């Protein structure tokens, strides 16, 4: 019997890894757990991803597209005539909408993002996350301010996630506005 042609297998493995991390955390990720979740032979996961870091890198890269795409799609950074107060208001609103969605998805993105602290192989991909969002925000401000806005939104997000608190849009708008004066 010949090898089955399955062009979507790699993507199914990545999607399965994201689900495993979402359900069990990074500690629950193994080639075996991903193979079971993807319903593929164990050898398929190790064929496509030699190490768990390779698999985590692919999962993080896929998740990276999340928030930067949301900000870009919102149009908040597209109107060059809008003033800086409108930018702060728009970014705070979009961040609030992101938190108002599926919280598990936000937690998953940050869990993968923060895994770079202990896994150096993930650091370039985590940096891509910051750079992608910074690039979007730079359409409305200078590069240094865009980086500071990303860092502030990141910090606010981490505080909300780590404390289990609620996102405070008014606070975020005020703080973002202070960076934009």
Residue with tokens 């493995």: 13
Integer distance in angstroms from the first to the last C-alpha of the chain? 68
CATH 1.10.357.10 segments of the chain: 61-179
Distance between CA atoms of 169 and 97, rounded to whole angstroms?
A: 10
DSSP code per residue over 93-128 = HHHHHHHHS-HHHHHHHHHHHHGGGT-GGGHHHHHH
Residues with pLDDT less than 50, the chain: 1-2
SS3 content of the chain, % helix, strand, coil (to 5): 75, 0, 25
pLDDT in tens, 104-141: 888 888 888 888 899 998 899 889 888 989 999 999 99
CATH 1.10.10.60 segments of the chain: 1-50
CATH class held by domain 61-179: mainly alpha
Give the pLDDT confidence score for residue 3 in this predicted structure: 57
Which architecture characterizes domain 1-50 according to CATH? Orthogonal Bundle (1.10)
pTM higher than 0.85: no
Give the pLDDT confidence score for residue 44 in this predicted structure: 92
Distance between CA atoms of 78 and 87, rounded to whole angstroms?
A: 10
Give the pLDDT confidence score for residue 1 in this predicted structure: 47
Distance between CA atoms of 10 and 104, rounded to whole angstroms?
A: 23
């Amino acid at each position: 019997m010949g090898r089955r042609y399955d062009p979507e297998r790699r993507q199914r493995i990545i999607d399965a890894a994201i689900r495993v991390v979402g359900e069990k955390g990074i500690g629950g990720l193994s080639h075996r757990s991903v193979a079971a979740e993807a319903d593929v032979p164990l050898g398929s996961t190790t064929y496509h991803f030699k190490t768990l870091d390779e698999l985590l890198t692919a999962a993080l890269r896929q998740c990276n597209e999340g928030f930067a795409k949301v900000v870009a799609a919102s149009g908040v950074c597209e109107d060059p005539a809008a003033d800086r107060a409108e930018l702060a208001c728009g970014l705070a609103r979009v961040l609030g909408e992101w938190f108002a969605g599926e919280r598990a998805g936000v937690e998953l993105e940050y869990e993968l993002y923060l895994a770079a602290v202990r896994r150096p192989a993930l650091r370039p991909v985590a940096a891509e996350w910051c750079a992608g969002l910074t690039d979007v925000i730079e359409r409305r401000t200078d590069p240094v301010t865009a980086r500071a806005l990303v860092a502030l939104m990141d910090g606010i997000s981490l505080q909300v996630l780590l404390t289990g608190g609620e996102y405070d849009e008014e606070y975020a708008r005020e703080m973002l506005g202070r960076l934009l004066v």
